[in-house]
Structure 1
Amino acid sequence: MLPFEAVPAALSGLREVVRNQLAEWGLPAFAEEAELAVSELAANVIKHVGKGATATLVLEPAGDRLRIELHDKSYQLPALVSPACDDECGRGLHLLAGMAVDWGTVLTATGKAVWCELSADPDDQRRRVLRAEAALTRYRRDVGAPALLQSRSTQILEDSAADLISDLLHWVAAQGGDPDSLLDRAQMHFEAEAEAA
């Protein structure tokens, strides 16, 4: 459990705490996704609860899963929205839902907790692949591309993945992040998962 003040400068410190704690627990394979999840959840507190709000990060390993909770003092529950292609915000929960095995929100006595669970289980990894395919299909629909119908061409889905990754990199840059660093981290995480499998 780590209480913190929700300000942009705290995000890098939260990521470092997550990385160090997972290394201490012998769970470095979770590091990249956990850092991203924590960054997204903390950024949502800053944006929707308020800069300087008090919050608490909770990490809990359980077998081949890692549970991440972020508690804040607001009773307003987040909701998935369908942002337009040129919107700079509104994709954080979609990103969280796409990489987590499960996620949700719960009201607490003092506000709410937004949580997610990450998994290293191969069956959960296969479910992530299917979720990614569903996300690509939705993305194609949202950008006005023709439906795939019965023939799910690998090349069409790869092109859609490239477009989606490009959109995500634009989003990262718009948030002041480094797209090259994100790509490097994603590649390292992918390679670590592939090696573990």
Structure 2
Amino acid sequence: MSSDLTLRLLVTPGAVPLARHAVREHLGSHTAELCVSELLTNALTHLGEGTPVTLRVTGRAARTRVELTDPDPRAWPVLREALDDAESGRGLALLDALALRWGVVQGPGSKTVWCELELDPGHSRHGRVALITGG
């Protein structure tokens, strides 16, 4: 059995919970679920509804890698500090806090935003992180 998960989907608000569920079933990692949610939401916000993407989750030993490939090599994510009263702008900061490392790779006619995670939920390169999830 392969340890990889690959989903090809169109970015829509409904795709986010479906992808989270698939990652939960595949890995059982709340951290990976949260990162997938942030990557897809970022694509929805900056590329628009209906954009085709490929989500890949690889690895199960000590680490896992989450990748989201989209067809716009120019719209690169930028880590920035959100103002206290801002309603958005925290997704990449959350990804940065949860991931061991993350980055962007430009391909021919596409880009891939990726992150590497420890499979032990609650750990990041910054120490333990408490995850609070709602119903």
TM range (shorter): 0.7 to 0.9
Query: Structure 1: how far apart are the matches of 2:67 and 2:53?
Result: 10
Task: Name 1:7's counterpart in structure 2.
Answer: 12
Aligned to 1:36: 34
AA aligned opposite 1:3: R
Hey, what does 1:68 align to over in structure 2? 66
Superposed CA RMSD in Å reads 2.2
CA distance in 2, matches of 1:126, 1:72: 26
Distance, in Å, in 1 between the alignment partners of 2:95 and 2:34 is 8
Pick from 111, 126, 129 the counterpart of residue 128 of structure 1: 126
Post-superposition CA distance 1:93-113 (Å, at most 9, x none)? 000000000101110112111
* Between structures 1 and 2, the one with greater helix share: 1
SS at structure 1 position matched to 2:112: strand
Letter in 2 for 1:74: D
Aligned in 2, Cα 1:126/1:85: closer, same or farther, shift over 3 Å?
Answer: closer
| Cα deviation, residue 120, structure 1 | 3.8
Structure 1 ranges of 4+ moved more than 2 A = 125-128
Structure 1 distance, partners of 2:72, 2:84, is 29
State the partner residue of 1:18. 23
Q: Secondary structure of the equivalent of 1:95?
A: helix
Q: Determine if contact 2:60/2:119 at 8 Å carries over to the other structure.
A: no
What is the match of residue 87 of structure 2?
Answer: 88
How many pairs align? 127
Task: Give the number of the structure whose residues are more often strand, by fraction.
Answer: 2
Q: SS state of the match for residue 182, structure 1? A: coil
Q: Once the 2 structures are TM-superposed, how far is the Cα of residue 128 of structure 1 from its aligned partner? A: 2.6
Identify which of structures 1 and 2 has the higher relative contact order when contacts are C-alpha pairs closer than 8 Å and 6+ apart: 2
Which SS does the other structure have where 1:107 is aligned? strand
When residues 32 and 62 of structure 1 are mapped into structure 2, their CA distance, relative to the original with a 3 A threshold, is: closer
1:63 partner amino acid: A
Distance 1:74 1:91 in 2: 21
Give the TM-score normalised by the residue count of structure 2.
Answer: 0.85
Q: Residue deviations 1:45-101, cap 9 Å, x none?
A: 100011110000001015300000000011121101121110111110000000000
Of stretches 57-66 and 86-95 in structure 1, the one that deviates more from structure 2 is 57-66
Give the match for residue 116 of structure 2.
Answer: 117
What do the CA deviations read for 1:155-195 (whole angstroms, capped 9, x no partner)?
A: xxxxxx9xxx9xxxxxxxxxxxxxxx7157xxxxxxxxxxx
Structure 1 unaligned spans of 5+: 23-27, 133-160, 166-180, 185-197
In the alignment, the residues of structure 2 paired with residue 68 and residue 17 of structure 1 have an alpha-carbon distance, to the nearest angstrom, of 13
Change (3 A) 1:116 1:126: closer
- Give structure 2 stretches of 5+ with no counterpart: 1-5
